[in-house]
Chains A and B, each alone.
Chain A
């Protein structure tokens, strides 16, 4: 709209400066991502000695082969898929109906419910009391500890509520009620068919959350058969590096650690990619949904 007007020297300089700044930001973010991909298929020796800067050197798929042969990673992967599917399903079953009910002006007590939910954003019992509740419910070392303590997120309920307020015409609801439609029927027949976009956004937000979460597993799960992928990754990517600095290890442990370190050195970049792969694959298709979700949420707090 401003192309018709001659740009002054200051403006031109500013424009160039902006482009340089953005290109710099682009490269800073992009470089580590490309580096990881290259490193995952390069000769580990070339990576570690610093001979590989950007593009793969000494191409090998040895790392990926070892990842595929590693039972722990497989089991973690399957567990995570399971937790993500189950968890997201529960999240949706809790969030969508609650958000719809809260969007209805004729719900007596909606301010009470809203207030009760929102308060938890600012004040909580904290780590220890929450842990004690989960423990006393007998959820420790069960799959439920991975999905129930995060069954809903206030922010997502707010986003979904705003969606319903904005997209469902009041007249439609009123007409349905006058025609004798029950709330159940209205939800199933009218609301749900209209909610595909918000269900998609919510499934993505919650899904990525479950896929990437490790802290619940860290505090509630000690059974290795139940470990999600992120905990397996933690052992490979983080723990081996740190424990190499402590010296008082027994011979057996040190040996096990040593073999783990050897393994980790070869597969560390590969597992970063393999574990992020589902999100990477989904991301380009769904980016606009993610963005839309954030924007819906920012419309109204």
Chain B
């Protein structure tokens, strides 16, 4: 059986009493005492101090620091709540924007609503939570301690228990055995509930609200998009460098060699120049293929439909194209879709032993859909090679998906879907 992740789940388990949970509850309740006292002390002290100092500016500055105190309390309390909630409480704070100074970071945190909620929790902890915890947790601990100690006390002295007088170790032991387990059982459940309630309160006040969760998700998505974008820009830069630099130089070289061929008489020298010329041409052809793989120019100039056609044309097997797309799609989507098409078709050509292949693409309700189907042997899967896995990551960042259905024996169907608009 899986061990419970929260005290509520633990309370429902028949093994609750013999688990660590009663003791975690004690630890949580009793540790709230120093935290509560400290919070109250700091907050009251700071409030008093700033009241006294308010005529001068420093008092007002101290008031402004309250949300930050709240944020610090929240930080500690979210960790302490880990005693009751194994997974802890996720932070409600937004990720700090990059490149902020220390001062700007503090200002950012201070303005957050979550910091004010944590401050509120600090007051609740300081005023209500810890006295209640101390009272019930402490009382229960004392009773439990005395119950365990009873045999020894009774051995030395008389212990009056209502009308029953315990005056020997044996009687004390009898009391411990009779009273201890039922008391432990009842108090453990009560304290578990109390500790659970406090942890739930902490979670409600210190955990992220729905909109904070959504905001964090959006921020994550944006940063991944930025990453894809940076990757794309870099590819384009490399492509341009090769194209405008290396490729041009090689072309210039073939021209010079071509002219030299005209001037040279038949003989060894001319034979060597001709050889150099064909070598330069081969290098150009290689470079052309490489550049196309990095960032196909046709995609940039003419869009996905034309680029997919070029890819299909290079395939050794006939590819039926069935593409109806709007003129242009957002650049990162076009690029991702292009690489899906070229990678998939290359895989079909390499592994599928197919005789035909059909590529379809359309936009349906704001989603770009691309499917590739072949009549090959099947058995393809994402994760077998690096190619498709990389594409899945790219698509994921754009909010898209890639599914491969390829039973052994075939046929293989691949379907890519991706939202066509960015940022929603």
Whether chains A and B associate is no
